[in-house]
Structure formats: C-alpha cells, structure tokens
Amino acid sequence: MTWSTGSPSIPRHSACICNVGYVAELGGAAVPVYLLQKAAGSETAGQVRHYRQHWTPIHLDLVVDDLDAALARVLAAGATLEGTVQRSAFRELATVRDPFGHGLCLLRFLSEPYRDGE
C-alpha cells in the first residue's frame, strides 16, 4: 500500500507538511508517502485536476506533542485553520487545509488514543 497526494508545487506543499518537525515519522513508516507534482488542469481518472478546497472522507491525522506549536508552524507555511481548535479531556484537535485544499488534522492525545471515550 502507498499513500500519495497531488500537488502543483512540491516545494510549497512539502514546506507546509514537512516544516512541522515530525515528517521523519512519515518517512520511516511501513507505507511510502509520495507528493506527486501535478499541474492544475491536468487530467486524472477522466477528470480535470483542481486544487480548490474539496472534501474527502480520507485525510491525515498528524499526531503531535505540542498542538499550538505545530499549528503555528503549518499556518506560517500557508495552511488555514478551519473553525476553532477543539479541546477535551481526551485530545486537542485542529482541522486545517494545506495551501492546495487538502484537509488534515493536527491531533494531540491527552490520554490513551481512541480508548477513553472519543
């Protein structure tokens, strides 16, 4: 299995994702992660590729040790925060979009992941 995402600008996209300080986790994973440079307007699966905001049921949850610091880094790199940071007794969560419309979540667990009620 691999995970890949299209991007019209590898340097800009990787700056948004990689400059958060934990991309080594992705590179060392059992699943390769690829950023594929694809121009807006090019074709994919019979459709014209665009990088406007879009919805998908599949996204990345990036687990971080310091949500506020990670959020500041991705916002500085061009991501946008959707809504507000959600905080509970179990986790802190920020939903963001990279500069190309891909959604991802920055997630800090405060207790055992997915076992304590959330």
Q: Model pTM greater than 0.75?
A: no
**Predicted confidence (pLDDT) per residue in 22-35, tens digit:** 333 345 556 666 66
Tell me the per-residue pLDDT of 59-118, one tens digit each, with 9 for 90 and over.
678 888 999 999 999 999 899 999 999 998 888 999 998 887 888 889 898 887 655 554
Other residues' Cβ atoms within 10 Å of the Cβ of residue 97: 19
**Read out DSSP for 72-111?**
HHHHHTT-EEEEEEEE-SSEEEEEEE-TTS-EEEEEEESS
Query: CATH homologous superfamily for 3-39+58-109?
Result: 2,3-Dihydroxybiphenyl 1,2-Dioxygenase, domain 1 (3.10.180.10)
Closest CA to 88 of 72, 74, 108: 108
